[in-house]
Amino acid sequence: MFWEKKLVSWVDSIRDQTALPLRLELWNGQKLDFDRHAPKVTIRVPKATALGYLLKPSLFNLGKAYVEGEIEVEGRVNEIISVGNALARHSLKPEGKLARIVRSTHHSKKKDEDAIRYHYDVSNEFYRMWLDENMVYSCAYFEEGTESLGEAQLKKIDHILTKIRLRPGQTLLDIGCGWGALVMRAAEKFGAQCIGTTLSQNQFDLAKEHVARAGLAARVEIRLEDYRDTKGRFDRITSVGMFEHVGAKHLPDYFAKIHSLLADDGMAMNHGITTTDFNNGETAYGGGEFIDQYVFPHGELQHIGSVLRAMQEGGLEVYDVENLRRHYARTCSIWAENFEERAKQIRTLVDDRRFRIWRVYLAGCAYAFAQDWVSLYQVVCTKAGREPSGLPWSRRYMYLH
């Protein structure tokens, strides 16, 4: 009875602030609506012990309750995410919006390898269910805004390779190459000699198959290798969706490593997610805490200002910065839609817990990018004080095809 009275009081307090298309169904059959209209989202609470998650509805608590099966949620996933954020926003104190996340700052090779494999080695078939045909797992580039996901992913790769003025015969290193789409495009369309590295066994195996099937084995090498172990000198270096795993304290060393691998007249580009909060390591309503525990262990986001500073500390000079936040919001929305459409097939590939993790993660990311809680920047850089030969004075070359 105590819990029920407290819950009713909580519902009333939120209803007084805002109308939510939400219904709670309790274990005793009681139904509590947050609005007089028909609900779009229903949360079923099978036992009283689960109420603790609802009465302190951070995104971490709500996500954990859903993932661990403490509550059942019914509704369209975008509506679920919207309602969850509204609950967190209206229930937490103002200072609770941005909660400091205590993360491990020690990024050993073994710890990073384990984290990467946890995230990427679910199965290749799992990712194939909701990615594009080339299995590009990073922000797409919607040049016109009307492209399909596959078209936008190819445009993203071409946009990157055009930005760094990749030319036939040049050497390219792609740090965190995924399933090999960028290095294959760089070799096939731009005539480069490429090396791609990954720590994921699944990505390594399938990327090698993709390269061999395309007849590019003479021009593309895939390595199962930590970037810290890479040796050589390259005309061009790309890193797409990888530096989020490096760790805040290690970013200057990471960019210093890129500096050591880059030819004196070379160009590099870092494409990665950043937080839009100046107090780095914080995120709205506990969403980042959920991602850290369930999705990306030991991942850390930095503000773009901190990223640019770390680049400079690593000996790199920034030439161009482009914000693609809107593009990632759309990319994640499409991924989430694909996930929903193929839910039955995906459930045959993973257990229910992992299915729930990824369902709310993809839709939650789309919401976070749309709200400008996180962003995506492409940063083109060179060795400090070393101007690449033939680099135009304006950005116009990036858009001439």
Q: How far apart are CA 302 and CA 368, in angstroms?
A: 15
Spatial contact of 48 and 345, defined as CB atoms under 8 Å apart? no
Instruction: Decide the pairing of beta strands 171-175 and 234-240.
Output: parallel
Which of 287, 281, 270 is CA-nearest to residue 324? Answer: 270
Give the active site residues: 365
Of 258, 353, 362, 251, which Cα lies nearest the Cα of 309? 251
Q: Can you name the residues that pair with 377 across neighbouring β-strands?
A: 272, 323
* DSSP state at residue 201: H
Dihedrals phi, psi of 378, to nearest 5 degrees: -100, 125
The whole-angstrom separation of Cα 66 and Cα 43 is 9
- The candidate with the shortest Cα–Cα distance to 176, out of 121, 241, 229, 107, is 241
- What is the spatial distance between Cα 252 and Cα 219, in angstroms, rounded to a whole number? 31
- Provide the residue count of the chain: 401
